[in-house]
């Protein structure tokens, strides 16, 4: 943050002052998306192709009150996008909630899934979900929960629309019967957690549920749009609502909160902001921005200690998404940002030819930086 950043802040400050004469609360999302930076323009100039949706949540603190102001761009629950690994935030928080309801288990209870070779703990699997977005960790927790419990728990809290129907990147993705867990109650005693039988998914009836022009299935090209109707459904507005409940539970009625103990809540926040290197992953392969797409997804720069990003990302089938709460303790700014776009230029799914590096990550990283800089400029005007 040298001279170029200083002059940028001056320019934005001038713009904010100008906007403030017309409205008390300038739309920072609109300003960010109007940036002439090529990483933003590449997407904004081809909106139909990229199916972009963005929600920016401005956070204002007035004494003991917190006020959320949501600004949306093309957010539409009826326009389907594949949520990919963003659903892992649900398995993580609901696994904690289930543990809180069981006297015999806790975060550090050792367990393994029947047929799995790994003995682990719930804490380890939740940490891997956020640090490196581990698919197997997610699937182990789904065996613990079951699809029906996930969906009902969310519905009971008023977190809708959402539908979890399958595991991730595994042959038994749509299997409705979970596998039993074997848990170690102590050094000599084990217990079996019974499997659950869940309802088969009903096909989703949403806009854009069929995408592209073709897809590969077992190395065979099928010249038809790819059908996502049996896949997970976790729209942008719902992701934002989940994040608000995790970061600011006191802003919601008790029946709409996740039932976590104070220790569980602290653990969850710590793991959501943790970087791979902090839990033992090699920095060369798992750099700071590996699962922090906003601001750092297109760079291998080190994230400064005063900047914390509590988030969950996802990318699959060309769709790339981040849902984040970003707080800067140096400049005293905080905001939430959730965005998704489809980077699949050739319209073929399962061919592993997607524009994550060329389009998706640069857009999300730059969007995060634009909002961040505007937030700092706004703060300095107060």
* pLDDT tens, residue by residue, 98-108: 999 999 999 99
Domain-located, residue 22: no
Q: What is the mean pLDDT of residues 117-142?
A: 98
pLDDT of residue 169: 97
pLDDT of residue 381: 87
pTM of the model: 0.93
pLDDT of residue 3: 39
- Which tokens in the block code for residue 161? 């629309």
Banded pLDDT at 118 (limits 50, 70, 90): very high
pLDDT of residue 28: 98
pLDDT of residue 164: 98
Domain-located, residue 32: yes
CATH number assigned to the domain comprising residue 173: 3.40.710.10
Burial class of 148 by CB neighbour count within 10 A (0 to 12, 13 to 18, 19+): middle
pLDDT of residue 23: 43
Span 347-362, pLDDT tens digits: 999 999 999 999 999 9
Q: What is the mean pLDDT of residues 106-119?
A: 96
pLDDT at 10 over 80: no
Domain-located, residue 3: no
pLDDT at 22 over 70: no
Span 220-276, pLDDT tens digits: 999 999 999 999 999 999 999 999 999 999 999 999 999 999 999 999 999 999 999
Rounded to whole angstroms, how far apart are CA atoms 23 and 85?
Answer: 38
Domain-located, residue 11: no
Chain-centroid distance, C-alpha 95: 17
Give percent of the chain with pLDDT exceeding 90.
Answer: 90
Banded pLDDT at 200 (limits 50, 70, 90): very high
Span 68-96, pLDDT tens digits: 999 999 999 999 999 999 999 999 999 99
Chain-centroid distance, C-alpha 320: 10
Mean pLDDT, the chain, whole residue set: 94
Phi, psi of 336, deg, nearest 5? -115, 145
Domain-located, residue 317: yes
3-state secondary structure the chain: CCHHHHHHHHHHHHHHHHHHCCCCCCCHHHHHHCCCCHHHHHHHCCHHHHCCEEEEEEEEEECCEEEEEEEEECCCCCECCCCHHHHHHHHHHHHHHHHHCCCCCCCCCEEEECCCCCCEEHHHHHHHHHHHCCHHHHHHHHHHHCHHHHHHHHHHCCCCCCECCCCCCCCCCCCCECCCEEEECCCCCEEEECCCECCCCCCCCCECCEECCEEEECCEEECCCEECCCCCECCHHHHHHHHHHHHCHHHCCHHHCCCCCHHHHHHHHHHHHCCHHHHCCCCCCCCHHHHCHHHHCCCCCCCCCCEEEEEEEEEECCEEEEEEEEEECCCCEEEEEEEEEECCCCCEECCCCCCHHHHHHHHHHHHHHHHHHHHHHHHHHC
pLDDT of residue 187: 82
Phi, psi of 378, deg, nearest 5? -60, -40
| Residue range(s) defining the domain that contains residue 57 | 28-381
Banded pLDDT at 64 (limits 50, 70, 90): confident
| Sign of torsion over alpha carbons 163, 165, 167, 171 | negative
pLDDT of residue 291: 98
pLDDT at 45 over 90: yes
Preceding amide of 161 cis, omega within 30: yes
Give percent of the chain with pLDDT exceeding 70.
Answer: 93
Nearest to 91 by CA among 292, 314, 338, 309: 314
Domain-located, residue 257: yes
Domain count, the chain: 1
pLDDT at 4 over 80: no
Domain-located, residue 190: yes
pLDDT at 6 over 70: no
pLDDT of residue 24: 55
């Amino acid at each position: 943050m040298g001279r170029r950043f200083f002059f940028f802040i001056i320019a934005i400050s001038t713009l904010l002052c100008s906007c403030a004469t017309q409205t008390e609360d300038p739309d920072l999302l609109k300003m960010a998306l109007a940036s002439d930076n090529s990483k933003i323009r590449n997407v904004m100039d081809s909106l139909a192709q990229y199916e972009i949706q963005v929600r920016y949540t401005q956070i204002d603190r007035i004494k003991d009150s917190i006020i959320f102001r949501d600004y949306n761009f093309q957010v539409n629950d009826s326009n389907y996008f594949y949520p990919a690994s963003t659903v892992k935030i649900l398995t993580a928080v609901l696994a904690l909630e289930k543990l809180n309801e069981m006297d015999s288990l806790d975060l550090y209870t050792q367990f393994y899934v029947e047929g799995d070779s790994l003995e682990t703990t719930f804490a380890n699997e939740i940490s891997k979900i956020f640090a490196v977005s581990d698919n197997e960790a997610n699937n182990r927790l789904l065996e613990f929960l079951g699809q029906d419990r996930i969906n009902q728990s969310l519905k009971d809290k008023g977190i809708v629309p959402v539908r979890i129907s399958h595991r991730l990147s595994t042959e038994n993705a749509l299997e409705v019967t979970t596998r039993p867990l074997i848990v170690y109650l102590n050094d000599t005693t084990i217990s079996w957690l019974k499997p659950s039988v869940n309802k088969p998914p009903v096909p989703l009836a949403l806009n854009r549920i069929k995408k592209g022009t073709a897809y590969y299935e077992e190395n065979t090209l099928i010249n038809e749009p790819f059908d996502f109707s049996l896949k997970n459904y976790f729209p942008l507005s719902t992701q934002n609502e989940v994040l608000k409940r995790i970061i600011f539970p006191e802003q919601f009625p008790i029946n709409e909160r996740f039932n976590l103990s104070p220790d569980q809540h602290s653990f969850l926040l710590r793991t959501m902001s943790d970087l791979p290197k902090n839990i033992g992953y090699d920095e060369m392969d798992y750099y700071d921005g590996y699962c922090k797409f906003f601001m750092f997804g297109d760079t291998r720069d080190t994230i400064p200690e005063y900047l914390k990003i509590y988030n969950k990302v996802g990318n699959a089938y060309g769709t790339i998404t981040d849902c984040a709460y970003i707080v800067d303790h140096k400049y005293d700014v905080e905001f939430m940002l959730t965005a998704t776009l489809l980077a699949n230029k050739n319209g073929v799914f399962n061919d592993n030819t997607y524009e994550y590096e060329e389009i998706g990550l640069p857009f999300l990283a730059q969007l995060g930086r634009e909002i961040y800089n505007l937030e700092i400029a706004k703060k300095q005007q107060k």
